[in-house]
Amino acid sequence: MVWGTEILTCAGMLSLIWSPTLMIWILLPGVGFMLNGTSSVLYATVAEIIHANARSRGYGLYYAITLGSSAIAPLVYSVVTDSFGLMFTMVTAALFVLLTLPLSRFLTGKSAGCPDFLPVGRGGEESRPYNHIFISRKPRPLSGELHSTHQ
C-alpha cells in the first residue's frame, strides 16, 4: 500500500511540471488526494509495525519527525528554489518521495525489543508490565466511593 501511494504521489508531482496551466488546475485535486492517502497509509503503518506497549512512543516519534520536517522543508526548499529554480525543486521533491520505497522494505512485522504482553498476576489482580510499572487491568474505585462487600 505504501508503494502504491508513494509512486502515485511522485507521478502526480512530476506531471505538474510539464503540464499546461489549465491541466495543472485539473490535476491538483488528484495530487492532493494522493498526498492525503500517503499520509493516512503511513499513519496506519505505525500501528502495524510497533507493538501496542510502545505505540504511543512510536506515534510521538512519527509526529515529531513529520511535523518537524514540515516546518523545516519550506525553508530548505525556498533556498533550493532560489538557487536552482522551481523545476529542479519539484523534481527533487518528487524523487525524495521515492526515497521512502527502499525504506519501506524494512516495515515488516512488529518492532524488535518490544515483547508481547503476558498477563502477570500481582496481589490477586491481573496486571501487565509497562516500562517497569505495573498497570492494573482492573479499575480501582475512586476515593469516596462506597465499596460493596458482595462478591
pLDDT of residue 134: 41
Q: Is the pTM of this model over 0.85?
A: no
Q: What is the 3-state secondary structure (H, E, C) of the chain?
A: CHHHHHHHHHHHHHHHHCCCHHHHHHHHHHHHHHHHHHHHHHHHHHHHHCCHHHHHHHHHHHHHHHHHHHHHHHHHHHHHHHHHCHHHHHHHHHHHHHCHHHHHCCCCCCCCCCCCCCCEEECCEEEEEECCEEEECCCCCCCCCCCCCCC
- C-alpha distances in Å from residue 150, one per residue of 124, 126, 139, 146, 147: 17, 20, 17, 12, 9
Q: What is the mean pLDDT of residues 9-24?
A: 90
The tens digit of pLDDT for each residue in 60-119 reads: 998 899 899 889 999 999 999 999 999 999 999 888 888 878 877 766 554 444 444 444
CA torsion 27-32-35-37 (nearest 10°) is -100
- Locate the domains of the chain by residue range: 2-104, 115-145
The tens digit of pLDDT for each residue in 104-133 reads: 776 655 444 444 444 444 444 444 444 444
pLDDT of residue 144: 53
pLDDT of residue 49: 80
